């Protein structure tokens, strides 16, 4: 969904219906479950505040099994018009790290929701906290079968580091 900044009412625009936003995510297994955002125009700036809920299908970072993750990010953003720059590069100041940009007179709400969802997802998703991962020798899922592969001995050059690791 795209909103024309010049058409945002003075009292703001409230977004409450996930279906009205259309297809937010390119992956059809990801869904926008709920949304409650207030979009306000403050001169040239646009403030977006509220929250939303999304469900994403991910892969476990240890065993590569699929899992479903639910996120509920809180949104509190200020957007300003994309500045004209030479050769597509602009210099950001310290205060610019807290803002985002919109282009022309158009605010891409779907893009904003995708970005906020990506930021809310775990860096290393796990199917469960005690996931045992894949065997480095045969590649079998250690959560499903007990692997009897022989593990390699520690490289003698790294033996002192291995001793330190065991102390922890």
pTM (two decimals): 0.75
**Residue range 92-112: mean pLDDT, rounded:** 79
What share of the chain has pLDDT > 70, as a percent?
92
What does the pLDDT read at residue 90?
Answer: 64
CA atoms of 74 and 127, how far apart (whole Å): 24
Strand bridging mode 13-15 / 31-42:
antiparallel
Any idea what DSSP says for residue 143?
T
Q: For residue range 22-54, list pLDDT tens digits in order.
A: 888 988 899 999 999 999 998 888 999 999 999
What does the pLDDT read at residue 69?
Answer: 94
CA atoms of 54 and 129, how far apart (whole Å): 21
CB 125 within 8 A of CB 55: no
Distances (CA, A) of 48 to 22, 40, 65, 79, 82: 18, 7, 36, 8, 16
Longest dimension (CA), the chain: 70
Q: For residue range 46-95, list pLDDT tens digits in order.
A: 999 999 999 999 999 999 999 999 999 999 988 888 777 555 566 667 76
Q: Which of 2, 7, 55, 5 is nearest to 28 (CA)?
A: 55
pLDDT-derived band at 131, boundaries 50, 70, 90: very high
Q: What is the residue-averaged pLDDT of the chain? A: 87
What does the pLDDT read at residue 130?
Answer: 94
Q: For residue range 153-162, list pLDDT tens digits in order.
A: 777 888 888 8
CA atoms of 99 and 164, how far apart (whole Å): 44
């Amino acid at each position: 969904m795209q909103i024309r900044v010049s058409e945002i009412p003075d009292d703001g625009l409230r977004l409450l219906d996930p279906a009205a936003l259309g297809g937010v995510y390119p992956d059809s297994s990801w869904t926008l479950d709920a949304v409650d955002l207030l979009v306000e125009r403050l001169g040239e700036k646009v403030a977006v505040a509220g929250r939303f809920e999304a469900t994403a299908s991910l892969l476990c970072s240890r065993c590569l099994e699929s899992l479903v993750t639910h996120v509920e990010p809180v949104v509190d953003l200020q957007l300003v018009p994309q500045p004209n720059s030479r050769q597509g590069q602009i210099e950001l100041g310290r205060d610019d790290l807290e803002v985002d940009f919109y282009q022309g007179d158009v605010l891409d709400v779907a893009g904003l929701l995708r970005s906020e969802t990506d930021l809310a997802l775990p860096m290393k998703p796990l199917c469960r906290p005690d996931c045992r991962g894949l065997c480095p020798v045969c590649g079998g899922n250690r959560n499903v079968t007990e692997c009897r592969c022989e593990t390699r001995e520690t490289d003698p050059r790294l033996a002192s580091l291995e001793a330190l690791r065991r102390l922890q």
